[in-house]
Copies of this chain bind each other. A is one copy, B any other.
Amino acid sequence: MAAFTFNKLVIFGVGLIGGSLARALRERAGLAGRVVGVGRSAQSVARAVELGVIDEAVALDDDVALSRALQGADIVLLAAPVAQTQPLLARIAPFLEAQTLVTDAGSTKSDVVAAARATLSERVAQFVPGHPIAGRESSGVDAALPDLYVDRNVVLCPLAENAPEAVERIAAMWRVTGAAVHTMSEAQHDRVFASVSHLPHVLSFALVEQILEAPDAQLKFSFAAGGFRDFTRIAASSPEMWRDVCLANRAALLAELDAYTDVLARFRAAIDASDGAALEAAFARSRVARTEWQERGGKKIPGDPAAK
């Protein structure tokens, strides 16, 4: 494992994800570099300073402070909702020095890459797209933890323009937080997460919406129990964030949604025809796959050297 050190890290959006990276680098890895947090206002990142997660809070609209913040920075992390990627990069571009690497933590990657190409042009080589897989129900800097990334996966989607050393440096940063780092193309990333993350969120929101529309909604909610609780936990997620994800990853999400609708239509036909054998065979396949997934630890890559 390559050693990782840094002089100055600038985090745009110091919430759960950005705050946990700062805490991991300092408290877990014991690194001494300076951490600057940038928020919509200095006030919005004041709490992160108060908690000792960052050294300094800067307001996004303060040209002087932002320019000073980016001066001498070795790494910039964008950890705001994906829809803000392009405006943030536009704001950073005038002050971006040649030695600075920029990475992000967005849940979608094709749109982020497009935003980076549009905004940074030939300097896109400085941008290494990334996605730490570490969501939690709680959010905000108060929920940030030094150990959030331990045994979690981080996906990087290197660009053809990225120097291998640039990719390796961002990977090394995530590794010192305890994460396993994997690489794939942005299209592959977006297909994978449309399937295992974005689609389940849409399906879960849809179930609650359907019950709400029923005339006996309150009776139904009253008798909802454990299965409903787990199935709909993600329906309590941030509406803004998931709106952005749905729009940012529209093509891949629609493809997964259509494939899902096809499976559901087949299940419907089997129920309608009382085809118990077909239902039982499909349910049994799912049970085996789900059980094996759980037994593998639920997040390891089979055959990957980083897998334990």
What is the interface of chain A, defined by CB distance below 8 A to chain B?
A: 133, 135-136, 152-153, 155, 184, 188, 191-193, 195-197, 199-214, 216, 218-240, 242-244, 246-247, 250, 253-254, 256-261, 263-264, 267-268, 271-272, 274, 276, 279-287, 289-291, 293-294, 298-302, 304
Residues of B within 8 A of A136 (CB): 226
Secondary structure at chain A's binding surface: helix, strand, loop or mixed? helix
Cβ–Cβ contact B267 & A206, under 8 A: yes
C-alpha spacing A211/B191, complex, angstroms: 11
**If A200-B207, A231-B204, A257-B271 touch, does A221 touch B283 (CB 8 Å cutoff)?**
no
Additional A-B contact list (8), CB under 8 Å, known A191-B220, A203-B231: A155-B223, A184-B219, A188-B219, A197-B228, A199-B207, A213-B263, A246-B279, A247-B271
Cβ–Cβ contact A286 & B195, under 8 A: no
**If A221-B289, A268-B254, A299-B225 touch, does A243 touch B196 (CB 8 Å cutoff)?**
no
**If A234-B230, A299-B225 touch, does A192 touch B216 (CB 8 Å cutoff)?**
yes
C-alpha spacing A199/B227, complex, angstroms: 10
